[in-house]
Amino acid sequence: MTPHIVSDPNVLCGKPCIAGTRISVELVLDKLGAGDSVEELLADYPFLTREQVQAALQFTRELRGRLGITF
């Protein structure tokens, strides 16, 4: 985990989330994967920062690397 990404078994069943929120990394990826831009994501969730969104993407890249997932 990073300072921006946390996992707490009492929040969203332990899914990795943006620290201090109930916004999961999965939600960020789903929104971006559906075609939303970072700007649209930030407008929809004004309490998020660009840095937090980037941390979610970095977390995903690192996890993919650790699991050996390639595309």
Distance (Å, rounded) from C-alpha 67 to C-alpha 43?
32
pLDDT of residue 30: 96
Question: At 60, which CATH number?
Answer: 1.10.10.10
Distance (Å, rounded) from C-alpha 59 to C-alpha 69?
14
Count of structural domains, the chain: 1
Structural domain that includes position 13:
5-67
Instruction: Give yes or no for residue 1 having a pLDDT over 70.
Output: no
pLDDT of residue 2: 77
- In tens, the pLDDT along 12-55 reads 999 999 999 999 999 999 999 999 999 999 999 999 999 999 99
Mean pLDDT of 3-12: 94
Type of residue found at 22:
R
Mean pLDDT of 57-63: 91
5 φ, ψ (degrees, to nearest 5):
-120, 125
CB 4 within 8 A of CB 18: yes
First vs last Cα of the chain: how many Å apart? Answer: 23
